[in-house]
Amino acid sequence: MYFLNINKPKGITSFDVIRKLRKRLNIKKIGHSGTLDPLASGVLQVAVEDATRLLEYLGSNKTYIADIKFGYITNTFDSEGEKQFVKTPDFSQSVLKDCILSFVGKSLQIPPKYSAIKQNGKKMCDMARNNKDNIIELQPREIEIYSIDLINFVDDYAQIKVCCKKGTYIRSLVNDIGIKIGCGAYMSDLKRICAGNFKIENSNELDDIEFNKIDPLEALELDKKELSDIEFKFVKNGNSIPQNQQFSTDKILLTKNNKLVSIANLSDNLIKPKKIFWRD
């Protein structure tokens, strides 16, 4: 089992990446974390074989480079939607900086209707494209933005770098920036440059001859514990062991000879195996 750091190209879905990898690697058990829209490119965390059981534990912080077009809004909050003119932009760089910095921190965000969020088992984006009248308005969700940097600003165009917690919609952020600054805005391009420990500079292209296989111990941002022989015998059979040291995370990786044995929870001064990966 291993992870892949794939640089998803624009114009295809995240599932298209998985489909291509299944065919190329001749492996059915492949999944990904953090869907990227067809418009977006960049880091896609891909898990192969038993690593799919670890997708939920991957680092959740994301970093994006987003291009913003001011003066217009769209129904999808990006360049793929129907454009509507709002107002010719007329603000300074300092005003824009103050505006984007006001979004740093925790806040409530309404996800876009054109998203992969499901309602009654159907994706919102599919329902919206089919003009369903019974679409329930999505409720605001708490998000957290750690930082926003203004990379470039010329006339009606800006480029920002956003570091945020999982679940943040950059399209919605751009739309909210446009509302606050008073002239409307939509996201014209998006590139994810970091997801957890996966960075764009270390990614593979889909047509690379070889892929860099990432060991789960390198991919997961969790504390590790090397098991003694006695502890190993208990853990591989699913039994708990005493917690005899302090950890900075509430879930830890248990290893033997630097190979993953289990991911475990910490509770009541015990280390309780949750998923076992060791194969005798």
Distances (CA, A) of 79 to 72, 136, 171, 172, 174: 10, 24, 10, 13, 12
Burial category of 70 from C-beta neighbours within 10 Å (exposed 0-12, middle 13-18, buried 19 and up):
buried
First to last CA, the chain: 15
| Extended beta strands in the chain, E state | 2-8, 30-33, 41-48, 62-70, 72-74, 83-85, 105-109, 118-119, 122-123, 141-154, 157-164, 185-195, 198-199, 223-226, 241-242, 251-256, 259-267, 270-276
CA distance 112 to 77: 7
Handedness of CA 66, 71, 76, 77 (dihedral sign): positive
CA distance 39 to 77: 12
Annotated active-site residue 149? The verdict is: no
Pick the catalytic residue: 37, 67, 78, 176?
A: 37
Amino acid (1-letter code) at residue 55 = L
Q: Is 199 helix (H, G, I), strand (E, B) or coil?
A: strand
CA distance 280 to 275: 15
Burial category of 203 from C-beta neighbours within 10 Å (exposed 0-12, middle 13-18, buried 19 and up):
buried
Active site residues: 37
